[in-house]
Amino acid sequence: MGMIYLQRGNQEAQEVNVPAWVSCYLGVTEPAIFGVTLKNFFPFICAMSGSACAAIVCVSTGTTANAIGVGGIPGILSMQATSMPTFALAMLVAIVVPFILTVAVGKKKGVDKAAKIAQQEAEMVAAAEAANAEAEANLVSENEFKAYLDGEVISLKEIGDGVFSEGMVGDGLAIKPANETVCAPVSGKITVLMQDSKHAVGMTLSNGIEILIHVGIDTVSMQGDGFEYLCKVGDVVKAGTPLLKFSKAKIKAAGHPDTAVFVVTNPNGIDTFKFISGMKAKTGSTVIATY
C-alpha cells in the first residue's frame, strides 16, 4: 500500500502493486514479496518491522486462535471470540506501521519523485513520437539535395579509396569540409546511426530513397573519438538541420582524410540522379544533386 502511494504516478508499477496488495491482504503474500517489496528491498524491511510490532501486540495481549486458518485480514475468522478485538488491533498495527515506514523511507530515497519523473519522461517521449509522426506525415518529397557541409565538392572517383570511389555503396559525391557540422541535405527521417563510431548518418526520404553521409575515410577505427551526434534514430528533420559534429584536427591526427561522402544507398527505382561536383559549396544553399 505504501508503494502504491509512492508510485501513484507510475502506471507500469501500479499494474504490479495493486494486484499484489489485494492478494496480500487476502493472505497470499508471494506476489507482494517477490513483485514489490524484495524488488525494492526497503519496503521488505519496513513490512517486517510492522509485522514485528503486530506480533508484540498479539503476544502481550494473549491473542489466540482456534486453529491455523486463512492468512491476512480474513485470519480474524480463525481467532477465538475473545481475541478478535486484539487481533484486529494487531492487524491495524501490521497495516499502518509498514505504510508509514515505507512512505517515510521511500520519500527520503526519492521514490515518489522518481515516479513523477518517469511519468514526465513518458509524456515527453509520447509527445516527441507524436510530433515525429506528424512531421513524417507532412514530409514533402524534394527533388534536390543541398550541401551538407561548406567546402569543395568532388566526385566519388576523386576519393580513391576503392570502396566509395568505385560506387560499391552507391552513387554520390563528396565534400572536402571547411567546417565541422554536418547538416541534413534534404528533409527526411533519421534511420541509421553508428553508435560506436558516430561517423555516419543514414536518412530515408518520404518517397523511400535512402541516403548515407559518411564523415572521413576509415574513421570507423576512431571509435567515436572526435564525433558527436546531434540527432537520434526516428527523428524527422528538415533540410539544414544539424546532424553530426566532428573534429577535423582529430581526424587528421588519426591519419585519415576528412572527406565527407554522400551516397544514395537505395534509389528506390529512381534512375534520374544528377550529382554536381567541381565547385565550392555552402551548407544549406548550394544544390549538389537533383533527380
For each of the domains in the chain, give its residue range(s) and CATH number, in order of start.
2-118 (no CATH), 144-290 (2.70.70.10)
206-240 pLDDT, tens digit each: 899 999 999 999 999 999 999 999 999 999 999 99
Query: SS3 of 184, please?
Result: coil
Annotated active-site positions, please?
214
Give every CB contact of residue 166 below 8 A, 6+ residues apart in sequence. 156
Helix (H) / strand (E) containing 129: helix 111-137
Pick from 184, 186, 190: which is nearest to 236 by CA? 190
**Sorting pLDDT into bands at 50, 70 and 90, what band is 3?**
very high
**Sorting pLDDT into bands at 50, 70 and 90, what band is 129?**
confident
Please compute the mean of the pLDDT values over residues 175-200 and round it to a whole number. 96
What Rg do the C-alpha atoms of the chain give, in angstroms? 32
Model confidence at 39: pLDDT above 80: yes
Model confidence at 249: pLDDT above 70: yes
Q: Which comes out higher in pLDDT, residue 273 or 162?
A: 273
Give every CB contact of residue 201 below 8 A, 6+ residues apart in sequence. 182, 190, 192, 193, 212, 213, 229, 231, 243, 244
- pLDDT above 70 as % of the chain: 95
> pLDDT at position 281, please?
96
> pLDDT at position 141, please?
63
- Mean residue pLDDT of the chain comes to 91
Cell numbers describing residue 86: 486484539
Amino acid identity of 275?
Answer: F
78-125 pLDDT, tens digit each: 899 999 999 999 999 999 999 999 999 998 888 877 766 777 777 787
Model confidence at 288: pLDDT above 60: yes
> pLDDT at position 75, please?
87
